[in-house]
Amino acid sequence: MGLYERWCESTKEKDKRRHYWTYVEKDGGRDEISDDLAETIRSHYDQLERIAEDVKRLGYDVASEILNAAMPQTPRGRSGDLGEILATELVEEEIGLRVPVRRLRYKDGRNMAMRGDDFIGAGYDAAGEKLWLLKGEAKSNKALSGTTVTSARKVLNRDSGRCTPDSLLFVANRLLESNTPADYELGRSLRDEIGLKSLSADRIDHMLFTVSGNGPHASLKADLDATGANRDHYVVNIHVEDHQDFIAGMFLKAEHLGDD
């Protein structure tokens, strides 16, 4: 079972190519996934194999210090990063596209937000031939508002709804550095797309992902209803009532490698 399946109850509505998904924590769901989520958070900042090597060489306390150097220390930074992490995991678990680069590993500073698209999903159609992309914007708020939703939709619509060239180039170049043939091939396809712009809108999906303490704001559904039918649109809300405590607790758990 995936992370979300164990953690939350979900409601999914579909109208043509519009998808409206809401998630609410199950009783005991957080306890069920907290260890796995902590490890997932770590994996977005560094390779788990590298962290394990640090532990072996230097011990748990020093390895924790190295990991902490990459992780945000401000509540705002942690909230934004966790939104991107949870969105990435949802795309791979529920949609089946890859988010092939963990971009939080490449931040200029641990408390700084990265520019560009929050997350990009990539893959191929059922025949394994035609490139398919997902452009995503993630928002994490104690109280989600209509202003935030409007702002996120504006970002999704810029560049004619395409992934921003600098964001796509960043992902492409990281994949081209890989020794894995499938990663290299995908990177080449993405780099080609930046120049050719051959993908039609119906193969560039959009996701507006939110995690909030007040649950799905009415503006989310209104925003989705106003979208066009030329691509798949996903509007998602994860309702975590103690939003700020949840984030603080998960980062504390992720930072502490322990010796157990």
Helix/strand/coil for 71: coil
**Average pLDDT score over the chain:** 94
Distance CA(172)–CA(91), nearest Å, equals 18
**pLDDT above 90: residue 105:** yes
Q: Characterize the bridge pairing of strands 18-25 and 8-15.
A: antiparallel
- Report yes or no: 83 and 138 within 8 Å, Cβ to Cβ: yes
Q: Which of 237, 258, 219, 242 is nearest to 24 (CA)?
A: 237
Mean pLDDT of 32-45: 97
Q: Which of 80, 222, 209 is nearest to 152 (CA)?
A: 209
Residue-wise pLDDT for 124-170, tens only, equals: 987 778 999 999 999 999 999 999 999 999 999 999 999 999 999 99
Mean pLDDT of 214-234: 94
Strand arrangement, sheet containing 8-15:
8-15, 18-25, 233-239, 204-212, 131-141, 119-124
**pLDDT above 70: residue 259:** no
**pLDDT above 90: residue 174:** yes
Predicted confidence at residue 100, as pLDDT, reads 96
Give the model's confidence band at 172: pLDDT under 50 very low, under 70 low, under 90 confident, else very high. very high
**pLDDT above 80: residue 113:** no
> What is the DSSP secondary structure assignment for residue 93, as one 8-state letter?
I
**pLDDT above 90: residue 28:** yes
Distance CA(195)–CA(185), nearest Å, equals 16
Mean pLDDT of 178-204: 95
